[in-house]
């Protein structure tokens, strides 16, 4: 286990801040200056707002149309009704719901003017804002991301009373609220937005040290990401909120050093989104939440804005939930565009298949690397990801274990409208088989997964259910059975499963809140699964598939006593898994080699690489070539990599 010293890093960060930040790094020699990499450098330090960005996206006009569609949808919200709703329901964070409508409306002066009320007896956006300020003056994270963008975009035209309310955010005791804590995304929202505001408002804050704390924390996160990874990794819900905070710093940073810092952080987020993105769904493992939809999460709408097509009939903004669209509003108003290398990767318009393996740190830690391990496999027809976590924990409060996505199969809907998303896990947290159930253990090799759950006395005492669920959309119906295998044909793949348990059965209704999902259930204190995803292109008929399955080998003779399964899969690769009854990670072999989890890279794939302790992010595009973002001493620098 490699550990870099947090105190040493903080010293380097404070030294960088004291010496003027990362100016020398941002303006240094970039090696081979291709037009694309030169553009990457320029966008990180150029403080001028440029109306056209042709080097980044030849379809900039398409981006603007997508941006306007999002803003028009959010602007139509009834501010009066939202105001009544949050008071009636006693919502603690009303800005989260009203400010997106206000910001969107003010961005559409051709439709709504510059803040005056468009209808008689309806409050103007400014009046609604002042009412919120009077009744909920707290400066909290879900407010700050929208509030600070509103300030910078409209500071010259806002009423004096509104401007004065912003000035009060720089004086004691209010200014102290810019250091409020919380989860990782809370800190990104509050610190990045607060730093942009305190640095750029031109009102000297009563407590100037707050800016140094905020900048130091942000530089620490960049160094952490490029060295040991991210605690709140690839969250389909919370990525968008973190991105929103950093976008405020990107767009309104008063110095090139801060803009460079924001660019590097945003490139990290965009790269992680792109490599796992699966045709409208956040594919692969997640630290918080489980994206089962298609164009139905905050992350997916940001991806649509950056890399989508506005003429896609299935990515319908009018049918999108405002709660998901609101996090795409700030990217829609931002000058930031991801590196052009990422577009083809996000759209999976690259040579496939590919494998990704990744490691993640403990959630808040700046030193505990290789705390979680992720496998991800992408093909033309599906993506599959699993996550390993090293603790057998029964905690249900004050933890994100209930929000982990530990097995996610995304099967592509070729019509683009409704991907099939499958989960497999125990049911400690939910019958939908999401979250880190204490006894879950996995082994993944490309499109094959072995899963085992064997309950011990502590599991039983904690109430871990003696069952595991394979959850999939109900519309695909019951499986077809063949020699112990349960098989579904879903879109262009065969989902082939072999369960073990005391009782195996099909449950067409597992959750009142998710009636469109069903589960195949394995009951018993010892349950296990083999899941194999086979492409119809390779096995075009039922007969071709079953002939191939007949050539696979299953050895479960030691399952009951030693909890060992051996399976030689369709590709002819042997997998062996022995359950760890008192731990959390099974002993496993793939193709005769032990699975070793020590010192996994932060990210490793043909297209995206972040070596452990490397301090760099490298992206490889089949035609645009390779570029690298490094952050030595938390000072970002971009350069091309010679072939």
- Whether residues 378 and 291 share a domain: the answer is no
- Whether residues 296 and 400 share a domain: the answer is no
Helix H or strand E encompassing 135 = helix 125-135
Tokens 């660019």, located at residue: 263
Extended beta strands in 238-295, E state: 277-278, 281-282
**Cα separation of 639 and 616, whole Å?**
11
* Token pair belonging to 255: 């110095």
Q: Any idea what the Cα angle at residue 22 is, between residues 16 and 25, rounded to 5°? A: 125
- Whether residues 460 and 581 share a domain: the answer is yes
- 180 in Cβ contact with 140 (< 8 Å): yes
Mean pLDDT of 269-290: 97
Strand order in the sheet with 493-500: 441-445, 448-454, 526-535, 493-500, 485-490, 480-482
How many domains would you assign to the chain?
3
Q: What is the pLDDT of residues 283-336, one digit of tens each?
A: 999 999 999 999 999 999 999 999 998 777 788 899 999 999 999 999 999 999
Residues in the chain: 643
pLDDT at 195: 98
**DSSP letter string, 503-559:** EEEEES---TT-TTEEEEEEESSEEEEEEEEEETTTS-SHHHHHHHHHT-EEE-TTH
Residue 48 placed within a domain: no
Mean pLDDT of 214-229: 96
- 63 in Cβ contact with 337 (< 8 Å): yes
- 170 in Cβ contact with 201 (< 8 Å): yes
- Whether residues 195 and 71 share a domain: the answer is yes
- Whether residues 631 and 550 share a domain: the answer is no
Residue 338: phi and psi, rounded to 5, are -65, 160
**Cα separation of 337 and 634, whole Å?**
22
Characterize 529-558 residue by residue with b for buried, 16 or more Cβ atoms within 10 angstroms of its Cβ, and e for exposed.
bbbbbbbbeebeeeeebbebbeebebeeee
- Whether residues 278 and 386 share a domain: the answer is no
Residue 554: phi and psi, rounded to 5, are -120, 125
Find the Cα–Cα–Cα–Cα dihedral 22, 26, 28, 29, rounded to 10°: 150
* Radius of gyration over every alpha carbon of the chain, rounded to an integer in angstroms: 25
- Whether residues 618 and 554 share a domain: the answer is no
**Cα separation of 426 and 35, whole Å?**
51
Residue 43 placed within a domain: no
SS3 105: helix
**Cα separation of 370 and 229, whole Å?**
9
**Would you say the C-alpha torsion 433, 437, 439, 441 has a positive or negative sign?**
positive
Residue 515 placed within a domain: yes
DSSP state of 1: -
pLDDT above 60: residue 2:
no
- 397 in Cβ contact with 297 (< 8 Å): no
SS3 448: strand
pLDDT above 90: residue 119:
no
pLDDT at 42: 61
- For strands 625-632 and 635-640, give the pairing: antiparallel
**Cα separation of 202 and 56, whole Å?**
31
Residue 352 placed within a domain: no
Residue 388, classified by CB atoms within 10 Å of its CB into exposed (0-12), middle (13-18) or buried (19+), is: buried
Residue 74 placed within a domain: yes
Residues 6 or more apart in contact with residue 372 via CB below 8 angstroms: 359, 360, 361, 387, 388, 389, 390
**Cα separation of 287 and 568, whole Å?**
31
**Cα separation of 414 and 94, whole Å?**
39
pLDDT above 60: residue 371:
yes
pLDDT above 80: residue 257:
yes
**Cα separation of 611 and 608, whole Å?**
10
- Whether residues 339 and 386 share a domain: the answer is no
- Which structural domain range is residue 637 located in? 608-641
pLDDT at 313: 74
- Whether residues 309 and 379 share a domain: the answer is no
**Would you say the C-alpha torsion 53, 55, 57, 62 has a positive or negative sign?**
positive
Between the alpha carbon of residue 608 and those of residues 260, 357, 518, 627, the distances in Å are 21, 10, 35, 10
Mean pLDDT of 250-271: 96
Residue 602 placed within a domain: no
pLDDT above 80: residue 591:
yes
* Token pair belonging to 15: 């030294």
pLDDT band at 116 (very low <50, low <70, confident <90, very high): low
Instruction: Report the percent of the chain where pLDDT is more than 70.
Output: 89
3-state secondary structure 204-230: CCCCCHHHHHHHHHHHHHHHHHCCCCC
**Cα separation of 620 and 637, whole Å?**
17
Q: What is the pLDDT of residues 158-188, one digit of tens each?
A: 999 999 999 999 999 999 999 999 999 999 9
Q: What is the pLDDT of residues 40-96, one digit of tens each?
A: 556 565 554 444 444 444 578 899 999 999 999 999 999 999 999 999 999 999 999
Domain end residue (candidates: 312, 346, 380): 346
pLDDT band at 541 (very low <50, low <70, confident <90, very high): very high
**Cα separation of 485 and 496, whole Å?**
7
- Whether residues 507 and 625 share a domain: the answer is no
**Higher pLDDT among residues 399 and 108, named by residue:** 108
- Whether residues 295 and 387 share a domain: the answer is no
Task: Give the range among 3-7, 202-206, 214-218, 290-294 with minimum mean pLDDT.
Answer: 3-7
**Cα separation of 527 and 484, whole Å?**
14
Output the average pLDDT for the chain.
90
DSSP state of 40: H
Residue 2 placed within a domain: no
- 39 in Cβ contact with 56 (< 8 Å): yes
- Whether residues 341 and 452 share a domain: the answer is no
Instruction: Give me the long-range contacts of 557-566 (CB less than 8 A, separation at least 24).
Output: 559/500, 559/526, 559/528, 560/526, 563/452, 563/454, 563/526, 565/450, 565/452, 565/528, 565/530
Mean pLDDT of 131-150: 96
Residue 28 placed within a domain: no
């Amino acid at each position: 286990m490699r550990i870099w010293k947090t105190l040493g890093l903080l010293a380097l960060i404070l030294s960088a801040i004291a010496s003027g930040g990362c100016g020398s790094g941002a303006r240094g020699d970039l090696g081979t200056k291709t037009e694309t990499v030169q553009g990457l450098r320029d966008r990180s330090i150029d403080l001028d707002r440029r109306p056209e960005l042709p080097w980044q996206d030849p379809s900039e006009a398409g981006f603007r149309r997508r941006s306007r569609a999002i803003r028009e949808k959010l602007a139509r919200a009834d501010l009066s009704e939202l105001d009544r709703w949050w008071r009636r329901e006693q919502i603690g964070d009303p800005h989260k719901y009203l400010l997106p409508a206000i910001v969107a409306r003010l961005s559409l002066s051709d439709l709504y003017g510059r803040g005056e009320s468009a209808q008689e007896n309806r409050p103007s956006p400014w009046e609604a804002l002042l009412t919120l300020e009077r009744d909920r003056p707290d400066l909290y994270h879900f407010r700050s991301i929208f509030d600070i963008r509103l300030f910078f975009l409209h500071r010259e035209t806002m009423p004096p009373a509104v401007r004065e309310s912003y000035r009060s955010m720089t004086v004691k005791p209010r200014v102290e609220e810019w250091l409020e804590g919380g989860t990782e995304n809370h800190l990104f929202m509050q610190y990045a937005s607060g730093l942009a505001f305190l640095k750029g408002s031109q009102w000297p804050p009563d407590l100037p040290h707050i800016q140094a704390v905020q900048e130091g924390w942000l530089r620490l996160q960049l160094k952490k990401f490029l060295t040991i990874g991210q605690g709140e990794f690839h969250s389909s819900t919370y990525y968008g909120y973190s991105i929103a905070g950093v976008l405020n710093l990107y767009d309104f940073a008063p110095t090139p050093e801060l803009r460079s810092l924001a660019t590097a952080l945003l490139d990290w987020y965009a790269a992680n989104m792109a490599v796992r993105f699966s045709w409208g769904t956040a594919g692969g493992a997640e630290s918080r939440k489980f994206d089962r939809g298609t164009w139905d999460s905050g992350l997916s709408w940001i991806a649509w804005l950056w890399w989508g097509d506005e003429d896609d009939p299935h990515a319908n903004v009018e049918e999108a939930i405002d709660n998901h669209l609101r996090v795409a509003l700030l990217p829609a108003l931002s000058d930031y565009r991801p590196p052009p290398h990422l577009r083809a990767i996000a759209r999976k318009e690259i040579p496939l298949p590919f494998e990704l393996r990744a490691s993640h740190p403990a959630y808040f830690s700046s030193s505990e690397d290789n705390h979680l391990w992720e496998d991800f496999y992408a093909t033309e027809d599906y993506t599959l990801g699993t996550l390993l976590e090293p603790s057998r924990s029964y905690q249900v409060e004050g933890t994100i274990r209930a929000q982990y996505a530990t097995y996610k199969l995304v099967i592509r809907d070729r019509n683009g409208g409704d991907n099939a998303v499958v989960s497999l896990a125990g049911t400690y947290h939910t019958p939908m088989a999401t979250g880190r159930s204490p006894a879950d253990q996995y082994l993944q090799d490309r499109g094959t997964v072995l899963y085992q759950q064997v309950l011990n006395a502590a599991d039983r005492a904690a109430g871990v259910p003696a069952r595991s669920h394979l959850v999939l959309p109900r519309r695909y119906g019951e499986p077809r059975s063949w020699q112990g295998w349960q098989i579904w044909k879903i879109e262009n793949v065969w989902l082939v499963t072999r369960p073990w348990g005391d009782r195996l059965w099909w449950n067409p209704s597992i959750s009142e809140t998710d009636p469109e999902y069903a589960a195949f259930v394995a009951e018993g204190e010892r349950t296990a699964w083999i899941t194999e995803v086979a492409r119809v292109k390779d096995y075009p008929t039922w007969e071709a598939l079953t002939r191939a399955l007949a050539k696979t080998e299953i050895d479960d003779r030691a399952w009951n006593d030693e909890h060992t399964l051996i399976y030689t899969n369709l590709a002819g690769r042997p997998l062996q898994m022995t359950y760890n009854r008192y731990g959390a990670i099974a002993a496993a072999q793939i193709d005769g080699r032990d699975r070793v989890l020590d010192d996994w890279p932060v990210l490793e794939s043909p297209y995206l690489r972040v070596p452990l302790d490397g301090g760099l992010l490298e992206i490889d595009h089949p035609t645009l070539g390779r570029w690298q973002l490094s952050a030595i001493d938390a000072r970002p620098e971009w350069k091309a990599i010679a072939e």
